[in-house]
Amino acid sequence: MITQLTKTFQSYFATTPLVAFAPGRINLIGEHTDYQEGFVFPAAVAQGIWVGIQKNGLTVCRLYSMDFAQEFSFELDYISPKNGHWATYVMGMCALMKQSGYEVQGFDMVIGGTIPVGSGLSSSAALSVSIGTAISSLFDFQIPKKNIVLYAQKSEHLYAGVKCGIMDPYASAFGAEGKALLLDCRPNTHQEISVHLGDYSLMLVNTKVKHTLADTAYNKRREACEESVRILQSEFPQIKTLRDLSFTDLEKVEILLPEALYPKAKHIITECARVHEAATALQAGDLESFGKLLNATHQSLSQDFEVSCAELDFLTEKAQALDFVLGARMMGGGFGGCTLNLVKTSELEAFQAALKSPYEQAFQKTPEFILVEIGEGARVL
């Protein structure tokens, strides 16, 4: 990718670029908990976004996307991000850096990636973090990683219209090879947990669907959690978010909340607990317990939080029935994207064979199988 990116850059801009990389991420467990200041357990992967960048001495930024085969340019003095366009992420990061006092000047940029579209590996966060890393290095701003993460999150909120949590850009920036990040989304600090999978591998199965209600539903779930907190504060005045409640509070929570809200709150409370159990299981090398937690998370996301879909449930159910799969669940925001599966490495081909044909027959789509390895976070190459 570096060679291809450099060649493309030279052909468009006749100079050699500085190259930065930011990875996509998987989330081992801890879904929809980050925006309740809860706990998540992500890890960076080998797939990601590469950015080539060089100063151009102009007041204009000239961009080229290899994935879209599109050019785009914008004036640094007139940044107006357009919702839904890939260049929005560049403009968003530039706008936020300028607001923070960094003197961004004109640059040329080429963007290329290896993250399958709609796979749930968080290409948008990787894109923002790679852009931030590249600009910071090019102009020697030395922006702290955590600030780049916060700009990436704010850019999504302001310019892409998705109220995402901190997890995706954080995992992309701070990922470490062979380690998952036990991330506390209140202080935004993490503990590295070594992941030794032994005879097992992590494989994603991409449903190849993204139902249109995904973004709307995400924002609605977020609002439901915030409403639950407001109601529960009458009985639990000390709580700021649902992360402040535990298993032992569930009985009282069920009495206090309306029937429509309780299952959503229950998911957040139980999922935060599962994150800690998963970290303990992995530290002890107890893959069976870790697999059972993955299964429990899927049940909770599908039944309580209601962010699954027929395709995700189908793939998860088929995978969980296989004796060489220790656990399977939907991963990410929901309504499409991928399932995450803990599969015996020697049975990866059998795993694909067991899921591919039934899925094609049921949904007239061919699933994509993506083997993931835990890799390093964002860096200049």
Parse the chain into domains and list their residue ranges: 2-194, 200-371
Task: For residue 168, indicate whether it is catalytic.
Answer: yes
E strand intervals along 159-233: 179-184, 189-194, 200-210
pLDDT tens by residue, 312-323 = 999 999 999 999
Report residue 212's pLDDT band, with 50, 70 and 90 as the boundaries.
Answer: low
Overall average pLDDT of the 39-59 stretch? 95
Report residue 108's pLDDT band, with 50, 70 and 90 as the boundaries.
Answer: very high
pLDDT, residue 342, reads 98
Q: Is residue 179 over pLDDT 80? A: yes
DSSP 148-174: HHHHHHHHIIIII-----SHHHHHHHH
pLDDT, residue 219, reads 83
Instruction: Kindly report the number of other CB atoms within 10 A of residue 8's CB atom.
Output: 17
Least confident of 63-72, 112-121, 137-146, 247-256: 112-121
Helical residues (DSSP H) of 284-323, grouped into ranges: 287-299, 310-320
Residues 200-371: name the CATH superfamily: GHMP kinase, C-terminal domain (3.30.70.890)
pLDDT, residue 84, reads 73
Residue 100 near residue 109, CB atoms below 8 Å: no
pLDDT tens by residue, 118-130 = 667 778 889 999 9
pLDDT tens by residue, 337-348 = 899 999 999 999
Q: Is residue 216 over pLDDT 90? A: no
Q: Is residue 35 over pLDDT 80? A: yes
Q: What is the DSSP letter of 116?
A: P
Report residue 117's pLDDT band, with 50, 70 and 90 as the boundaries.
Answer: low
pLDDT, residue 83, reads 72
Q: Does the CA dihedral 246-247-253-259 come out positive or negative?
A: positive
Catalytic choice (34, 108, 140, 168): 168
Give pTM, 2 decimals.
0.89
DSSP 237-265: TT-SSGGG--GGGHHHHHHHS-TTTHHHH
Overall average pLDDT of the 206-229 stretch? 85
pLDDT, residue 214, reads 62
Q: What is the CATH number of domain 2-194?
A: 3.30.230.10
HSE, side-chain direction, 13 A CA sphere, residue 287: 18
Q: Is residue 116 over pLDDT 90? A: no
Residue 331 near residue 368, CB atoms below 8 Å: no
pLDDT tens by residue, 350-369 = 999 999 999 999 999 999 99
Overall average pLDDT of the 24-36 stretch? 93
Report residue 20's pLDDT band, with 50, 70 and 90 as the boundaries.
Answer: very high
Least confident of 18-22, 320-324, 332-336: 332-336
User: In whole angstroms, what is the distance from residue 57 CA to residue 162 CA?
Assistant: 34
Q: Closest Cα partner for 177 from 12, 381, 373? A: 373
120 vs 179: which has the higher pLDDT = 179
Q: What are the beta bridge partners of residue 110?
A: 52, 64
